[in-house]
Structure 1
Amino acid sequence: MTEKILNRPCPIKGHFILSPILDRLRRVLLLLRHRQARKARIKRFIRRVLGQRKRLPIAESDYYRLIKVLRQEHARGGVHRKLCARLRYLLSRADHLPLRLIPDDMITMNTRFLLFNRSGKRFVLTLVYPEDADKAKGNISIISHLGMSLLGRCSGEYISESLRVDAIVYQPESRDDFHL
């Protein structure tokens, strides 16, 4: 009688009540497998993107100012410890370039640029030091995930699957504004 009600065979004879529970467990296992597969795809994408960036090109003046910012954040005991550690790692892998050798289409500190996303929107942003960060004005702090992934990128490069640096609007090094 219960077999007719549930209309599902149970793998264990005589335990018809277990069938709905086993179905729920199967659904949960499928969901977990889907999430694990998604995480694996994301990790592969991150490895591929990081593999493209062998060494981070950075202006010498930006390098020394960023080291100073990291020291200040460490002394302040800021909440951005993990982000500071990631920035410190990126700086350890950096190629220090003289200001005159910085390409005109590369994002450096205080560079204004266009960011293009997959839905067709364009954003005008500026990569700045933490004290100048203001999302309303489009100033992105270097001590953020987006800021670190932007540093050293050239126009036309993808930051993620959906974000691309479209164009450089203003770069201090190309206009000989070395005081910024």
Structure 2
Amino acid sequence: MLQHSQLYEYHVWANDRLFAHLEQLPKDAFHAEVTSVFPSVSQTLGHMYLFEQLYMYVLAEAPNDDIFPKIPAWTEETQGKTLEEIRQLFAGVAEQFRDLLRRTPDPDKAMTIEHPKYGRLDTHFSDILRHVVNHGTYHRGNVTAMLRQQGYAGVPTDYMFYLLERQEGQR
């Protein structure tokens, strides 16, 4: 079974690769309007950031009454920001997430999530963490499509490339 911290480190690695790639492109590619799941790369990353914050609180077992009032502020944090500013927001939430993972000795601990729209889910910490990583993978794919619409290449962020890079670093 893949250790939960390694799975999250892959997620951070993939986001970092995407940020590094975006930094090499013209600045207007970040905010350019496209027809996609979100209207721009910057808004996609804003959504991803909101999701990271929200699910970090879910995994910390914060009550909905503490989580839902924070959503407008998390959304606002990314509005009109530069690529570097959003990258810093991601770095901050990654450190908070790592701290949560260090404080969670049992990644398979049972959890119950109550969602006001979708109902109750009896699950495990590790399942929700996989959901966070899968969500990031999905939206990094959206960003690749948005970049291609603008005439730019994407950047490979597949798990296999993460493993290869780690292996090279251990030699």
**Structure 2-normalised TM-score?**
0.27
Q: Higher RCO, 1 or 2 (CA under 8 Å, sep at least 6)? A: 2
Under a length normalisation based on structure 1, what TM-score does the superposition of the two structures give?
0.26
Q: Which has the larger radius of gyration?
A: 1
Higher helix share: 2
Q: Higher strand share goes to which structure?
A: 1
